[in-house]
Chains A and B, each alone.
Chain A
């Protein structure tokens, strides 16, 4: 597998503050890598260096085997980028916004964009200024995905999205991987990207503190299976006890209840 992202001894200082310290990282083609850490850990700074918005104080960042610099825009042809606070032009409609950025990216495919908008339940003719945070984030997602790029760099992409759209987002990301693209996705919530990622990189105070595959992470945390207990509650518990499986019964969490409500509603609507 080829290396898509390569960081070698990458360091970024803002005055006396070291936001990123000596970071080494390699991301292979066709993988989904989660970049995890609390707020202020250095995730966005690393991604901003990769995008050429800011330059590294020392070390090297490479994308598609090309050195990243503030003046090298070649890698941008093959990248879809999204940041959680991405600013859009409020005077435009979603369609105008996407068309503009599509032309800048030299890859506007109207049919693909409309399909994405349909999947994310986004009204393309709505004004950006009238949109909720969630819909705003959907436009930003389409901007990142519209060109079907070889690499997606997503900085906290699910901020503001409701659980249904998050589920659809996850499907789209897995489809992106299936066509051979690479995804580098940051979050400060492991559970949000746990299902998606093949590998995890943990960063804390600018330093990478752990790297592991999904399997390794599973072994560290123990495997968890969730079973919805319905009418067969008694039988299921008996079966688990017979097999000697450790189990814990908890009330449905709010997110689960929310999803259940909408999923049932969608079925009844259909």
Chain B
């Protein structure tokens, strides 16, 4: 593994990746397992809710009482934030963090171009995210199998690809801001704030028109909107998410390749 920047990054972060993968696996498994005792309570709660509050759950208020609906809203909905947090933490440290510590200079004193370094670091982040998502999908699948129900691989893939694109996008933004300003903490804080705010705005977008409009400015809107667990991809939403992944990288790469590095 210690032959390339990509391999070394994954090796160096192996414990972080392993712990997050296991944590997501166990959490998803546990979340699915609590569905049977929650089913009745959720069903009663949804019928008792006033219309205005039920609107907060959007069109999925009835879906909460089926396993598929519960997995879609609770597991894929709530846990997407955990995956996003992993993405922001990882991507803020992987390049800008190394520049701050001085390790970047030690590596760039070798014949490695900045472009190659940038790309390998981002690919390492993407690979780490995929590994965490493997834990996500396995935990969910195993949980539903233990309850005697099957969610098809296609349905799981729909949800998993959506979360992966969402976390890749916010990770790209963090990575790019860190690479431009040589400051991972600033990048993590800015994107973290944007992600949390965006998550709540997108979650409550059914409650008021202004929230619906603002929700469109958050990547969560493009992840939540198509009910990925049920439907095939809405190509427009996927393209928006892909744009959020690619545009920050394209903007940051030339800046990182030309600017003065942080020296001591």
- Is A101 a contact of B260 with CB atoms below 8 Å? no
> With contacts A100-B3, A103-B2 known, is A85 near B110, CB below 8 A?
no
Can you list, as one digit per residue, whether each of B103-124 has a CB less than 8 Å from chain A (1) or not (0)? 1011111111111000000000
Give the residue name and chain of the A residue nearest to B101 (CB). Answer: A87
B258 at the interface (CB under 8 A from A): yes
> With contacts A100-B2, A103-B2, A104-B5 known, is A70 near B111, CB below 8 A?
no
- What bracket does the count of chain B residues touching chain A fall in? 20 to 34
- Is B106 a contact of A53 with CB atoms below 8 Å? no
Q: In the complex, identify which listed stretch (A73-81, A179-187, A241-249) lies at the interface while the others stay far away.
A: A73-81
CB < 8 Å: which of B5, B107, B257, B263 contacts A54? B263
A88 at the interface (CB under 8 A from B): yes
- Is B111 a contact of A104 with CB atoms below 8 Å? yes
- Is A71 a contact of B258 with CB atoms below 8 Å? yes
- What bracket does the count of chain A residues touching chain B fall in? 20 to 34
- Is B8 a contact of A100 with CB atoms below 8 Å? yes
A143 contacts across to B, CB distance below 8 A: 106
- Is A54 a contact of B261 with CB atoms below 8 Å? yes
- Is B261 a contact of A104 with CB atoms below 8 Å? no
B243 at the interface (CB under 8 A from A): no
Give the residue name and chain of the B residue nearest to A83 (CB). Answer: B105
- Is A53 a contact of B110 with CB atoms below 8 Å? no
A96 at the interface (CB under 8 A from B): yes
- Is B4 a contact of A103 with CB atoms below 8 Å? yes
* A101 → chain B closest CB, angstroms: 6
* B141 → chain A closest CB, angstroms: 33
A106 at the interface (CB under 8 A from B): yes
* B12 → chain A closest CB, angstroms: 6
Complex Cα distance, B110 from A77, in Å, reads: 7
A86 contacts across to B, CB distance below 8 A: 102, 105-106
Complex Cα distance, B109 from A81, in Å, reads: 7
- Is A51 a contact of B257 with CB atoms below 8 Å? no
Can you list, as one digit per residue, whether each of A9-52 has a CB less than 8 Å from chain B (1) or not (0)? 00000000000000000000000000000000000110010011
* A16 → chain B closest CB, angstroms: 16
* B49 → chain A closest CB, angstroms: 51
Q: List 16 A-B contacts (CB under 8 A).
A: A44-B263, A54-B263, A73-B112, A76-B109, A77-B111, A79-B109, A86-B105, A87-B101, A87-B103, A88-B106, A89-B8, A91-B12, A100-B3, A104-B5, A104-B111, A105-B111
Q: Apart from A53-B105, A100-B3, what 19 extra A-B contacts exist at CB < 8 Å? A: A44-B264, A53-B108, A54-B263, A55-B258, A55-B260, A70-B257, A73-B112, A73-B113, A74-B111, A76-B110, A76-B112, A81-B109, A86-B102, A87-B103, A87-B105, A88-B103, A100-B2, A105-B110, A105-B111
